[in-house]
């Protein structure tokens, strides 16, 4: 199976997982969704580590993976909550702005972005502007519901990838496992400290477990894709995950966006892909 196919499978799995997470967060507390889904994904990551048979990484590789897991948990919590209170067709594309964060880190480290990446940043910001503006009467002017959380999600996801990149030398399976163990522990600790159950009601168990399974599957698909082809191509294709989330929201929930927001969604995704490609 080629890199492009694997990357698209990863994007599809992420999109489905995000949609299910947003749906679940509309019914139960977001920390319950996060703790249970990350726990389910941790099991899959542990199996991957056992099958890979790699030696455990050193502390220098573990610490960035821990940071990645913490940032990823914050990003997912913000995304699920944002999609629970706002339109998924708005929140998901805004969250796709995450690739700007690694670009900013590279810039701070002295690496100059390519012209395509600078163009991508401008296009992303333009798309977010169209998506984020609250529409309606003047007294409702401001950001659309869920957009601030989507921006937090984008920041969390961007830092997640920065951490993964720094930890990858210790082995991809161990990196994913460490990050997932961290996100699970953080979600459980927060839930327990707030007296929130980490076990969802029985009727939501399949949905929440599926969130973790799809998320872990996406990590595996994308990780394998990077070993079989251009990392740039993989990054572009995997950044298209919000397309699946938006389509599911349209088909299952009947969400409708006006013309300017549809254009904004396309611009946000296209810009994110350009940043990743650069």
Domain extents in the chain = 3-277
Q: What is the pLDDT of residue 138?
A: 46
> What is the distance between the alpha carbons of residues 139 and 226, in angstroms, rounded to a whole number?
48
Q: What is the pLDDT of residue 278?
A: 66
3-class DSSP state for residue 133? strand
pLDDT tens for each residue of 94-130: 888 887 787 788 778 777 778 887 888 788 778 777 7
Q: What is the pLDDT of residue 13?
A: 92
pLDDT tens for each residue of 210-244: 998 898 888 778 777 766 766 566 666 777 788 88
Give DSSP secondary structure letters for 10-79.
HHHHHHHHHHHHHHHHTTS-HHHHHHHHHHHHHHHHHHHHHHHTPPPPPHHHHHHHHHHHHHHHHHHHHH
For residue 22, the Cα-to-chain-centroid distance in whole angstroms is 12
Q: What is the pLDDT of residue 104?
A: 82
Q: What is the pLDDT of residue 135?
A: 59
- Owner of token pair 């299910």: 20
Q: What share of the chain is helix, strand, coil (3-state, %, to 5)?
A: 80, 0, 20
10-residue mean pLDDT profile of the chain (278 residues): values are: 80 91 92 92 90 87 91 93 88 83 79 79 79 57 79 90 80 88 94 93 91 85 73 69 86 81 79 73
Q: Given phi > 0 = left and psi -120 to 50 = alpha, else beta, which region is 147?
A: alpha
């Amino acid at each position: 199976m080629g890199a492009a196919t694997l990357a698209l499978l990863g994007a599809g799995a992420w999109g489905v997982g995000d949609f299910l997470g947003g749906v679940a967060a509309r019914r139960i507390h977001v920390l319950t969704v996060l703790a249970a889904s990350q726990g389910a994904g941790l099991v899959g990551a542990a199996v991957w580590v056992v099958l890979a048979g790699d030696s455990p990484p050193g502390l220098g590789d573990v610490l960035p993976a821990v940071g990645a897991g913490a940032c990823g948990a914050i990003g997912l919590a913000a995304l699920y909550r944002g999609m629970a209170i706002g339109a998924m067709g708005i929140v998901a594309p805004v969250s796709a702005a995450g690739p700007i964060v690694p670009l900013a880190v590279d810039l701070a480290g002295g690496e100059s972005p390519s012209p395509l990446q600078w163009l991508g940043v401008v296009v992303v910001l333009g798309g977010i502007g169209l998506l984020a503006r609250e529409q309606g009467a003047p007294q409702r002017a401001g950001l659309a519901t869920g957009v601030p959380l989507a921006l937090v999600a984008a920041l969390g996801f961007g830092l997640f990838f920065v951490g993964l990149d720094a930890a990858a030398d210790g082995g991809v399976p161990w990196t994913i496992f460490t990050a997932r163990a961290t996100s699970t522990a953080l979600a459980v600790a927060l839930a327990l400290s707030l007296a929130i159950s980490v076990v969802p009601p029985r009727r939501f168990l399949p949905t929440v477990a599926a969130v973790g399974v799809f998320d872990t599957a996406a990590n595996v698909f994308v990780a394998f894709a990077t070993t079989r082809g251009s990392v740039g191509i993989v990054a572009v294709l995997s950044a298209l995950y919000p397309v699946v989330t938006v389509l599911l929201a349209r088909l299952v929930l009947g969400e409708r966006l006006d013309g300017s927001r549809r254009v904004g969604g396309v611009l946000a995704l296209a810009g994110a892909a350009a940043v990743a490609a650069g």
